C-alpha cells in the first residue's frame, strides 16, 4: 500500500511474557515477589474517587517528588519523575542524544537501548563486554554522542564499582552519561552522589523492582537541574499529565516506609545467595549477581532446552536467542518457595 512508504518502521522491544494463568511461577521479568509496603494497601482504600475526575498533578509538584527529594537529599529541581524508567529513559534518549556522533552502550545490555536509538534515528555503537561480561571503561574514551549503561548491567547482573563508573563519566564530560540503576538496591552502590560533581550525569531508578510496584509504572531520574529542565521541556512537548493520580499517591507510601523496603531487598539478597549455591551444585555457572536475578548457563544442557522444559513445568524464566548469550537464562529471584520449586524442576532437567 502506498501509504506504507511514509510509515515509521521499527523493530519493537520484546517484553517478557505476562501469561494469564494464575498458577505459574513467574521468574521471567524481574518483578519483586513480595507485596509493596503495607502503607500502600491502606492508601488504596483511601483513594478519592472525586480526584479521578480531574487531571492529575504535574509529577514534579507532587508529594511524591517531595518524598523522593527528601529521601535522596537532593533538590526537587534535580529530580524528574516518569511513567516507569522506560518512559524516563526514552525521553532521555530523545532529549540528550542529539549528536551526529554515535551513542555508546554495551553489546550485551538492556535490549531497549538500540530500539530507542533506532526509533529516534540516533546513531549508536555497541562496545563488547569482556569475556567475564564486564564493561571495559577504556572502550568509552573515543569521541561519542553520549553514553548509557545499566549498573548493575542487565541481563548479566554484573556490577561496576563507583570508581569505574566515575572513570567513564570523567572521560565523557562533553556528552551526557546516563547510568540506569534499575537494580542498584540489591547490593550495589549508587553513583548518585556524583551528580553534584558532574553536571552531565543522569542517574535513573525505578519503583518496579526493589519497591514491588512494577504495575504502578513509576521511574525517576536525578541529575543537575539543567539536565532536568531539558528533560521536562521535552516531556511537556509530548504529554504533560503523565503519572496518574493513583500512582502518585501510592508511590509516596512506598518511599515513606524505608524499613520495609530495606527488609524486602535483604530477603531477596539472601535468597539470591542461596540460589548461587543451589545453581552451582546443579552445574550452572554465572557472573556474580548484583540484581534480583541470576544470569546462568549450564555446563551440559542448552539454555533453550532448560527454558522450554521449565515452561512445561509452569516455571517461566527469560531466554534470548541472541549472539553471545543464547546459552544463558535470566532467572528472577522469587520467594524461597518458588525457588525451591525451581530447583526441584532443574534437578530433573539437568539430571545426567
Ligand X SMILES: *Cc1c(COP(=O)(O)O)cnc(C)c1O
The neighbour count for residue 52, using CB atoms within 10 Å, is: 11
Residues 6+ apart with CB under 8 A from 299: 283, 284, 285
Which value, in Å, is the radius of gyration of the alpha carbons in the chain? 21
Nearest residue by C-beta to ligand X?
Answer: 84
Match 550495589 to its residue by C-alpha cell: 188
Counting contacts by CB under 6 A, is residue 264 touching ligand X? Answer: no
Counting contacts by CB under 6 A, is residue 152 touching ligand X? Answer: no
Q: Return d(Cα 29, Cα 110) in angstroms, integer.
A: 12
Q: Give the one residue of 27, 68, 79, 154 binding ligand X; rule: CB under 6 A.
A: 154
Counting contacts by CB under 6 A, is residue 230 touching ligand X? Answer: no
**Beta-strand (E) ranges in 209-261?**
219-223
Nearer to ligand X by C-beta: 18 or 142? 18
The neighbour count for residue 206, using CB atoms within 10 Å, is: 25
| Binding range to ligand X, per CB under 6 A, among 71-79, 82-90, 130-138, 323-331 | 82-90
Q: Return d(Cα 129, Cα 343) in angstroms, integer.
A: 29
Counting contacts by CB under 6 A, is residue 317 touching ligand X? Answer: no
**133 Rama class: left (phi>0) / alpha (psi -120 to 50) / beta:** left
Nearer to ligand X by C-beta: 127 or 298? 127
Counting contacts by CB under 6 A, is residue 214 touching ligand X? Answer: yes
Counting contacts by CB under 6 A, is residue 145 touching ligand X? Answer: no
Instruction: Please give the full DSSP string across 40-89, using - where no structure is assigned.
Output: HHHHHHT--GGGGGSPPPPGGGSHHHHHHHHHHT--GGGEEEESHHHHHH
Counting contacts by CB under 6 A, is residue 250 touching ligand X? Answer: no
| Binding range to ligand X, per CB under 6 A, among 72-80, 81-89, 139-147, 194-202 | 81-89
Counting contacts by CB under 6 A, is residue 180 touching ligand X? Answer: yes
- Distance of closest approach, residue 114 Cβ to ligand X, in angstroms: 13
Q: Give the one residue of 150, 287, 289, 334 binding ligand X; rule: CB under 6 A.
A: 150
Q: Give the one residue of 56, 84, 223, 334 binding ligand X; rule: CB under 6 A.
A: 84
Counting contacts by CB under 6 A, is residue 182 touching ligand X? Answer: yes
Counting contacts by CB under 6 A, is residue 110 touching ligand X? Answer: yes
Nearer to ligand X by C-beta: 298 or 320? 320
Q: Return d(Cα 174, Cα 157) in angstroms, integer.
A: 28
| Binding range to ligand X, per CB under 6 A, among 9-17, 78-86, 195-203, 335-343 | 78-86
Q: How far apart are the first and last CA of the chain?
A: 55
The neighbour count for residue 350, using CB atoms within 10 Å, is: 18
- Distance of closest approach, residue 277 Cβ to ligand X, in angstroms: 25
Cell of 160: 561496576
Nearer to ligand X by C-beta: 102 or 155? 155
- Distance of closest approach, residue 41 Cβ to ligand X, in angstroms: 21
Residues in contact with ligand X by CB under 6 A are 30, 84-86, 110, 150, 154, 180, 182, 206, 208, 214, 219
Amino acid at each position: 500500500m502506498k501509504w506504507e512508504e511514509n510509515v515509521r518502521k521499527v523493530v519493537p522491544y520484546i517484553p517478557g511474557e505476562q501469561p494469564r494463568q494464575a498458577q505459574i511461577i513467574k521468574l521471567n521479568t524481574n518483578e519483586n515477589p513480595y507485596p509493596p509496603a503495607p502503607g500502600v494497601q491502606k492508601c488504596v482504600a483511601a483513594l478519592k474517587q472525586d480526584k479521578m475526575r480531574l487531571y492529575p498533578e504535574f509529577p514534579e509538584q507532587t508529594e511524591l517528588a517531595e518524598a523522593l527529594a527528601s529521601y535522596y537529599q537532593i533538590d526537587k529541581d534535580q529530580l524528574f519523575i516518569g511513567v516507569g524508567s522506560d518512559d524516563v529513559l526514552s525521553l532521555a534518549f530523545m532529549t540528550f542524544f542529539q549528536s551526529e556522533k554515535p551513542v555508546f552502550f554495551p553489546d550485551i545490555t538492556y535490549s531497549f537501548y538500540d530500539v530507542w536509538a533506532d526509533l529516534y534515528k540516533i546513531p549508536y555503537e555497541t562496545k563488547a563486554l569482556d569475556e567475564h561480561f564486564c564493561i571495559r571503561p577504556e572502550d568509552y574514551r573515543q569521541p561519542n554522542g553520549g553514553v548509557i549503561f545499566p549498573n548493575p548491567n542487565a541481563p548479566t547482573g554484573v556490577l561496576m564499582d563507583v570508581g569505574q563508573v566515575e572513570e567513564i563519566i570523567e572521560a565523557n564530560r562533553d556528552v551526557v552519561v546516563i547510568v540506569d540503576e534499575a537494580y542498584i538496591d540489591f547490593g550495589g552502590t549508587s553513583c548518585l552522589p556524583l551528580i553534584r560533581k558532574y553536571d552531565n550525569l543522569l542517574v535513573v531508578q525505578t519503583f518496579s523492582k526493589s519497591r514491588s510496584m512494577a504495575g504502578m509504572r513509576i521511574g525517576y531520574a536525578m541529575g543537575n537541574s539543567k539536565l532536568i529542565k531539558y528533560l521536562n521541556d521535552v516531556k511537556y512537548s509530548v504529554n504533560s499529565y503523565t503519572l496518574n493520580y493513583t500512582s502518585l499517591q501510592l508511590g509516596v507510601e512506598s518511599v515513606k516506609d524505608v524499613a520495609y523496603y530495606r527488609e524486602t531487598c535483604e530477603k531477596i539478597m539472601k535468597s539470591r545467595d542461596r540460589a548461587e549455591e543451589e545453581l552451582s551444585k546443579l552445574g550452572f555457572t554465572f557472573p556474580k549477581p548484583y540484581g534480583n536475578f541470576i544470569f546462568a548457563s549450564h555446563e551440559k544442557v542448552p539454555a533453550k532446552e532448560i527454558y522450554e522444559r521449565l515452561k512445561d513445568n509452569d516455571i517461566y524464566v527469560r531466554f534470548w536467542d541472541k549472539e553471545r548469550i543464547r546459552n544463558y537464562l535470566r532467572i528472577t529471584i522469587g520467594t524461597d518457595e518458588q525457588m525451591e520449586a525451581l530447583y526441584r524442576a532443574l534437578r530433573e532437567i539437568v539430571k545426567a
